[in-house]
Structure 1
Amino acid sequence: MTGAAVAAAAQTLVGARFRLHGRDPRFGLDCVGVAACALRGAGHAGAVPEGYALRGGNADGWAARLDAAGLVRADEDAPGDVMLLATGPGQFHLAVLTARGFVHADAGLRRVVEVPGRPGWPVIGVWRVED
């Protein structure tokens, strides 16, 4: 599996509806669902984080969830990586990096979108599937 395959799988999700705890693009996805579907679409069979709220928690808890999903923390980012972002106090968000920008579930737009460039939120860390 390559990062390009994860990024391509994420791009196929663009346009899916937003749905908190959504895991199926036919019915809606949240940010964790986008990351999980992109990884699975590229052949990764790791665990999917569960038991989280829209707000709350901490960065260490999210990092542990990503580790438990079988992802490895990366020092530098590349297309296909899963980014953990701090979108507000006690609010965290996942996005999948692409060559053009990043794919994420936008709760305000109620859709999965690909945004050009870099996220405007602080990046806490980057994880990837290790070949």
Structure 2
Amino acid sequence: MTPGERAAAAACRAIGARFRLHGRDPATGLDCVGVALLALRAGGHAGPSPEGYPLRTGDVARYAASWDGLAAADGAVPGDVIVMRTAAGQVHLAVRTAAGFVHADIALHRVVERPGSPPWPVIAAWRLRGDGLGG
């Protein structure tokens, strides 16, 4: 199993966890960063976690700096972390799966998988090294 496949599988195991801002544990709740971090950790990434971000932020650079060592990607491979612009000044993270993507849905108050492509513009994506990009 590739690092991306392990990441996608971990994201899928989090489906049903409740939404909680700054949440990092599926047992107590996850936000979109928590879902992405959970997946990245399962894929072998040991970098730092983004901290102190508001619910609404357009600061993609904050995440890029926290996930140093990941490779820029197209967001099409299971396990890729995708960053989408969901509204003006707001970004949202998700993990690509074979069927679609897993994300923490604040409106549904839980982690869900949506089939197909995201309905929002993808503005950045990262891939675990060893998954076809980088060393």
**Does TM-score exceed 0.5, indicating one fold?**
yes
Q: Which amino acid in 2 is paired with 1:54? A: L
Q: Which amino acid in 2 is paired with 1:111? A: R
Aligned to 1:118: 117
Structure 2 gap ranges (5+): 131-135
Count how many residue pairs are aligned between Structure 1 and Structure 2.
129
SS class of match (1:113):
strand
Q: Which amino acid in 1 is paired with 2:31? A: D
8 A contact 2:74–2:125 mirrored in 1: yes
SS class of match (2:114):
strand
Aligned to 2:34: 33
8 A contact 2:56–2:89 mirrored in 1: yes
1:76 and 1:46 map into 2 onto residues whose CA distance is 20
Structure 1 gap ranges (5+): none
Q: Which amino acid in 1 is paired with 2:27? A: R
Aligned to 1:93: 92
TM-score (norm 1): 0.91
How far residue 125 of structure 1 moved from its aligned partner, in angstroms, is 1.1
Map 1:1-131; keep pairs closer than 5 Å: 1-66=2-67, 68=68, 70-75=69-74, 77-131=76-130
TM-score (norm 2): 0.88
SS class of match (2:126):
strand
Moved over 3 A (4+): 59-66
How far residue 50 of structure 1 moved from its aligned partner, in angstroms, is 1.0
SS class of match (2:82):
strand
Q: What do the CA deviations read for 1:91-120 (whole angstroms, capped 9, x no partner)?
A: 010000000000000000000001100110
CA RMSD, aligned part only?
1.5
1:108 and 1:95 map into 2 onto residues whose CA distance is 15
> Closer, same or farther in 2 for the Cα pair 1:22/1:92, shift >3 Å?
same
Q: Which amino acid in 2 is paired with 1:80? A: G
